[in-house]
Amino acid sequence: MTYQHPMSPPRELVQEWINEGPPLDQPKHVAHFIAGKAAQWGADQELEACCEWLRQQTLCGHVDLIPSLRAARRPPPPSLAEEALGIIERGRDEWSPLPEDWDKLQAAAERLAELEQQINP
């Protein structure tokens, strides 16, 4: 049996990430995708451990403490426009976007076109 560090994501979860990530013939993109997912998973594990520790220590007397901690440590994901701008900015450094990045750019452009239609009918 192979030893797995307790702070490592379960193998099944890593396999899910591999399946949902970019094609395996793009190892650089796969590595970035998996690293991002693993970092997010680890941060989520740590946050939940901290919230549980606060509960056990009865240090969360204020009813909003744990929800506020979660909100502060897990800000909402970037908007479609913010993602699109980030992709464009990376593109300026001769970065090669992934297919899903182009999809986000297209979705952002389509949404902007819809908003423009609403403003200027």
For 44-63, the three-class secondary structure string (H helix, E strand, C coil) is HHHHHHHHHHHHHCCCCCCC
Average pLDDT, the chain: 82
CA distance 43 to 119: 41
Together in a domain, 44 and 89 = no
Largest CA distance in the chain: 66
CA distance 73 to 70: 5
What pLDDT score does 47 carry? 92
Together in a domain, 23 and 71 = yes
Helices 80-92 and 99-119, packing angle to 10 deg: 130
- Running DSSP on this structure, what letter comes out for residue 98? -
What pLDDT score does 74 carry? 86
- Band (pLDDT 50/70/90 cuts) for residue 3 is low
Together in a domain, 67 and 109 = no
Together in a domain, 53 and 88 = no
Question: Quick check: pTM over 0.85?
Answer: no
What pLDDT score does 2 carry? 64
- 11-68 pLDDT, tens digit per residue, is 899 899 999 888 888 888 888 889 999 999 999 999 999 888 888 877 666 778 888 8
Domain with 20, as residue range(s), is: 1-75
Counting the structural domains of the chain, the total is 2
